[in-house]
Amino acid sequence: MFDIVTYGDPVLTQKAEDVTSFGSELEQIVADMHAAMRLDHGIGLAAPQVGISKRIFIVGLEDEPLRVFINPVITGMSKETSEYEEGCLSFPGLYFNVVRPAAVEIEAYDIKGKKFQLKADGLLARVIQHEYDHLEGILFIDRISPVKRARALAHYHRMLKM
């Protein structure tokens, strides 16, 4: 079982590496990520958040089967944007609005190594972009203005001391 890595751990700001082999080891990582995400009531989780710097993320929206994205590439983004309140399992208790493209197109491999393409909008597009950012070492606090970022981090550090 994995523990979720929280802000301050250098793995969260590194660019993750491609997955080079599919098989039981990868399946075990994904199963353990799924368990960790469920335990923390998350709807998305990226491998760096469990200390594994690999290009893997999962999305588990309510009433939907788990989606697994291996070596994903975002191939298109809508010009239209939307603003939505995000949280992150690596920043427990911190939530704020983030503006992102409203829809995305993504290419990735599934757990069996089969390539797929997906067009997503709404919450799915939102979670995909948040998790994809984790593979680039980008955190949701990096997606807001410097002033809001400083305020969010100050709030987060105050919460940690309580």
Q: Which is nearer to Zn ion, 26 or 88 (by Cβ)?
A: 88
Minimum distance, C-beta of residue 75 to Zn ion, in the bound complex (Å): 22
27, 83, 131, 136: the active-site residue = 131
Minimum distance, C-beta of residue 68 to Zn ion, in the bound complex (Å): 17
Minimum distance, C-beta of residue 154 to Zn ion, in the bound complex (Å): 19
The residue sitting closest to Zn ion, measured at its beta carbon, is: 88
- For Zn ion, the binding residues (CB under 5 A) are 88
Q: Which is nearer to Zn ion, 95 or 116 (by Cβ)?
A: 95
Helices (H), 15-162: 24-39, 122-135, 146-161
Distance CA 37, CA 101 (A): 25
Q: Which is nearer to Zn ion, 35 or 117 (by Cβ)?
A: 35
* Secondary structure element (H or E) that encloses residue 103, with its range: strand 103-109
Identify the three-state secondary structure at position 134: helix
131 is catalytic: yes
Distance CA 126, CA 119 (A): 12
Tokens 């802000």 found at: 7
Distance CA 91, CA 153 (A): 10
Residues labelled as active-site residues = 131
